[in-house]
Amino acid sequence: MTAKCVMVLGTSSGAGKSWLTTALCRWYARQGLKVAPFKAQNMSNNARVVASHNGLGEVGSAQYFQALAAKAEPDVRMNPLLLKPEADTHSQVVLLGEVNNELTNTPWRDRSEKVWPHIAASLDALRAENDVVVIEGAGSPAEINLMVNDIVNLRVARHADARCLLVTDIDKGGAFAHLYGTWALLPPEDQARISGFVLNKFRGDASLLAPAPEMLQERTGVPTVAVLPMWWQHGLPEEDGVFDDRSRASGVVNKTVAVIAYPRISNLDEFQPLKNVPGVRLLWARRPADLAGLQANDWIVLPGSKHTSSDLAWLRTQGLDAAIAQHAERGGAVLGICGGLQMLGEALIDTHGIDGNAAGLGLLPVVTQFAADKTVQRTSAKFGELRGAWAALSGVQVSGYEIHHGQTQAHAAMAAAGQVAHEVMPGLAWQNDAGHVMGSYLHGLFEAPAVLHALFGAQTPTLETVFEGLADYLEQHMAADVLRRLIA
């Protein structure tokens, strides 16, 4: 078995590559084909725990969801290189699911030849095991300053002998210039790989596009094979976790969930199910004014962080620490997940140079010490008896994943003085005595239907429903013979 390869390239980041790749994975799987996704290199702090040759490892969340759409078991070969930004000029390098310190410390331009053999081997293995591999590019393939070191776009397309779609975001304007300019900057042999242009996020009368698609085909020989209307409520997590009121379930808002959007925020995709709950609004919070209108029944969430101490410092600089404390003092619910849990505690202790030392927010009587080794695992556990805002979760069984260096425990001296951190999930979750502040290491909490039902009494669309909807949408706006020709 040697899989046919379809590759989705984009004129820019945010053009719609991840969405289209996911839809293609489900459409081809629905034809009875064995399908796998692939992205050579992903830069994201949204990661999932999946199978690896050593047991478990990390991949970008987009490839995790693409694998589920393809009805395949996610594994690290589907995203062999993951870059997790820790600062504007520095990323942790995860190779085949595991942190690689040597590559992390290697200059970017010297890294490509070291990692390419692993990328090629991963892609070859997936091709040998599947009928179709749907490949996602990164950014734009026409970045001429990067082409010589390319390991994610054209080099992958050549190695896979892939037929490519080039997608652009027409909502931003300049779509035809983006398509033509991208095509024109490619070498002739790579121009020939472009089988079709896709206009994504279109709003308006499609007849007004003429004669631009025809003129573009005259100049390039490439047809425009689809015009995809804007679709806010498709239900798939945005790769960068962006919340938008237009993408939430419609209806009257009766609860606001304010997520603190610090610079190194991570794993935002896990909040997507909340966007699908009727009556719930998710809100970015980057300044105290964003929290000013919260009511007692509203939540503040401190999500994961790729660099907890620096995000905690940023939070204080913005004055958000006082705003969070004021909400908690009024009895408002506060939830910290992973790095957010660590921030809620009394102190961060770092003796290995992993993250940095810092005083916590003091809303939970716990302390975190960073270990040299990272915990990367899938976890299933049950909540014990909870109180206050989170009481409805008592006894609920949940499954999720852990990705953290920090190890947290109750602050012994504070416990002796009567300030107790109630361990409501062994080694994973703690609650304050009043019951309105809780922190947990378990990612994926809101992806558990039992949790959503306990907290909201709500039934939300399953991922299967979302994937089927994506494939239906693709089939509605792109001819089936075009999809079949891509793998002919």
Pairing, β 304-305 against β 265-266: antiparallel
Q: Other CB atoms closer than 10 Å to residue 435's CB: what's the count?
A: 17
Among all residues, which ones are annotated catalytic?
A: 338, 443
On whether the CB atoms of residues 436 and 331 are closer than 8 A, the answer is yes
> What single letter denotes the amino acid at residue 315?
L
On whether the CB atoms of residues 39 and 78 are closer than 8 A, the answer is yes
Question: How far is residue 201 CA from its own chain's centroid?
Answer: 20
Residue 348's DSSP bridge partners are: 358, 368
What Rg value do the Cα atoms of the chain yield, rounded? Answer: 23
Half-sphere exposure of 384 (CA within 13 A, CB side): 13
Residue 266's DSSP bridge partners are: 304
Q: In whole angstroms, how far apart are CA 125 and each of 5, 6, 68, 240? A: 13, 16, 19, 28
Cα separation, 467 vs 479, whole angstroms = 18
On whether the CB atoms of residues 310 and 343 are closer than 8 A, the answer is no
Helix 61-69, helix 17-30: angle, nearest 10: 20
Name residues whose C-beta falls within 8 Å of residue 318's C-beta, 6 or more positions apart in sequence. Answer: 286, 287, 288
Nearest to 82 by CA among 73, 95, 63: 95
